[in-house]
Chains A and B, each alone.
Chain A
């Protein structure tokens, strides 16, 4: 075991997968000599050279577009988009092509590739550097969307994403990069994509979160236990697409109450799909309306006002109390 933060844990996953498989390569802006603006690809350039750790020109569409071509040839590219706010410049390559090539060619070609991107607030950054845009990718058939919540699962899920035969969008919460360290095994480990984790068991209510919001949900659960004597179950989704409805429905069938927490704007966000899935799967068990604690539906708030929009512990606790009291 080694104690690593999320940046180092992701770096370890890339290093070990590149050592294991010569078809894995990394491309993006500043990922080579500089090691990435968040240092996730640090030292890979020195270890594997510029042909495998490519400092690409500054052009998101061609980073993902050329990666599609590499994947069609049989390579396994891992792209880094510097911030998820810039990924709209490659969204068409992701939606029009990476997600569709298997279907378009009826299995003759497929895109085994990963597009990593940092997302979310909490780092006092400018516009396009703080938003949460996971809902766009969650809606695209043919993609998988993974959002780890800590160093160990980030490393194990990135390993799975690289080995997955389908294109995986890998969202890394910037707020978690240096937030805490965890024991991470030196030997490679992989976690299955599409499986949620019960982060904490409970019987009174289910808090559903992913990425940086898992920590918020866990802290809210602690407040509810201490101040209300309520036991909240906390589910860490880890994968948004495909969504692990079985785990969600199983939990809410038990607790009868659910609050979904996410940083993405509320309307048409992941919380809507989760609430609809719970209505379909656990309607008769529900004791209260499903609540969503999410960002407000405005284009951008700026970090000076971010705390009023991004969910925090008091907002989650308040929503949970209303749900429990319903």
Chain B
């Protein structure tokens, strides 16, 4: 009996619409209303400016460790801009721009990275999951949400984000498999930023693309230029419409680059070259989208100053929050507080009451502010 090749008809497209030199493929250019284009650019710039501000806040000891997004703004905004409010967004931990688009207040994101529980609470009508830190573990949740939407007969679509490193995790493969078998309305957006902390994509997978992993699970995968917001938008729009039409999941691989550190605790000079970073800076998603909007006369003058002022106002709100009340840490451990936790709450309350410092006397000078560049918060707060 001869060996016969199976006709699997497997293929993966790469999509690029607006390249780093500003060349536009007008045949593929998505039709996006002027107001939406302006809002997309605005949120990308806000994401970038907030990112830079947060790095300084972290260095000053005013917030804790966080994961900057610099360079990945198009991958995030091009994708979430295709969602409706009733759709769901499931982030990992490097989606500040996407979260801003979905309405998370800046001061709440700051509170989250300042280690405050309040920072993780979505608004009552907001269909967003909070930041999830263990890599890829949020992906089964996205598939479960999509199953539930389908079960209830809602037409909501679920979009989940993750990185290139996540594609090595079992939860990624299990979620992909369940998504395929259950044929649920989910869009899986991989921000392939080339580096999982210090491990490059070549050591992460022997696959030529990440997009092709979808084919093994029986649904389409597409690779896009992740620094091209128009390409990300076009691919996401198509995936969202497929999901809404009952045509099942899609995997989108956004080829992008983390221009900054993995987190503020990381030093990338140890594992990657300056030349590589310079090369990707030439492909900055903001530069090319800005030039595209300029040609359409949609650039708003004074935008950066306006956004900086918005960030400054949010920082002021964040820093004027009352100190975290330790006793509220018990409130949401269970629906109803069990007896042993009531006892522990009382114990903590009594201990705090005994050890509370006296308020500073009138006229006494406040402790000095932390030095610029000082990384530790503990000495300052002590």
Contacts and interface: CB of A to CB of B under 8 A. Distances in A.
| Pairing of A with B | yes
Interface of A: 25, 51, 56-57, 59, 61-62, 64-75, 77, 92-93, 96-97, 102-110, 141-142, 144, 164-166, 194, 242-243, 245-246
A107 B151 contact: no
B148 interface: yes
B367 interface: no
Given A107-B121, A245-B340, A59 B148 contact: no
Q: Taking each of B117, B134, B140, which has the highest tally of chain A beta carbons within 10 Å of its own beta carbon?
A: B140
Q: Taking each of A51, A62, A141, which has the highest tally of chain B beta carbons within 10 Å of its own beta carbon?
A: A62
Contacts of A103: 117, 332-333
A252 B7 CA distance: 73
B121 A106 contact: yes
A69 B339 contact: no
B178 A106 contact: no
17 contacts: A25-B151, A57-B178, A62-B171, A62-B177, A65-B140, A65-B175, A69-B145, A70-B144, A73-B145, A77-B144, A92-B134, A96-B134, A104-B130, A106-B118, A107-B121, A141-B333, A242-B338
Interface in B187-206: none
Contacts of B339: 194, 242, 245-246
Contacts of B174: 57, 59, 61-62, 65
Given A73-B148, A105-B120, A243-B340, 4 more contacts: A65-B139, A69-B144, A73-B145, A105-B130
A104 to B, nearest CB: 5
Given A66-B141, A96-B134, A108-B122, A75 B178 contact: no
Nearest to A99: B333
Contacts of B142: 69
A72 B152 CA distance: 13
A110 B331 CA distance: 13
Contact of B141 (A51, A69, A194): A69
A71 B120 CA distance: 18
B123 to A, nearest CB: 8
A88 to B, nearest CB: 12
B141 A97 contact: yes
A56 B178 contact: yes
B151 A65 contact: no
Contacts of B171: 61-62, 65, 93
B365 interface: no
B137 interface: yes
B86 to A, nearest CB: 12
A233 B112 CA distance: 50
A65 B181 CA distance: 15
Contacts of B145: 69-70, 72-73
Interface in B121-156: 121-124, 129-130, 132, 134, 137, 139-149, 151-152
B218 to A, nearest CB: 12
Contact of B122 (A57, A68, A102, A105): A105
Nearest to B156: A73
Contact of A75 (B146, B151, B341): B151
Nearest to B121: A106
Nearest to B180: A57
For chain B, the bracket of interface size reads 35 or more
Chain B binding surface, main DSSP class: helix
Contact of B143 (A69, A75, A97, A141): A69
Contacts, number: 133
Given A25-B151, A73-B148, A75-B151, A61 B333 contact: no
B335 A102 contact: yes
Given A66-B141, A92-B137, A104 B175 contact: no
Contact of A107 (B134, B146, B332): B332
Nearest to B343: A245
Contact of B144 (A65, A194, A243): A65
Contacts of B334: 102, 142, 144, 166
A51 B332 CA distance: 32
B334 to A, nearest CB: 5
A153 B297 CA distance: 72
Contacts of A66: 140-141, 143-144, 147, 175, 178
B115 interface: no
Nearest to B171: A61
Given A106-B121, A166-B335, A57 B181 contact: yes
A62 B144 CA distance: 9
A110 to B, nearest CB: 7
Contacts of A93: 137, 140, 171
Contacts of B146: 69
A167 B117 CA distance: 20
B170 interface: yes
A215 to B, nearest CB: 28
A266 B306 CA distance: 64
Q: Taking each of A51, A66, A106, A246, which has the highest tally of chain B beta carbons within 10 Å of its own beta carbon?
A: A66
Interface string B315-346: 00000000000000001111110111100000
Contacts of A25: 151
A61 B142 CA distance: 13
Contact of A108 (B124, B338, B341): B124
B145 to A, nearest CB: 4
A65 B341 CA distance: 27
B148 to A, nearest CB: 3
Contacts of A164: 335
Given A69-B142, A245-B340, A246-B339, A102 B178 contact: no
B148 A75 contact: yes
A246 B145 CA distance: 39
B141 A68 contact: yes
Given A108-B121, A141-B333, A242-B339, A72 B141 contact: yes
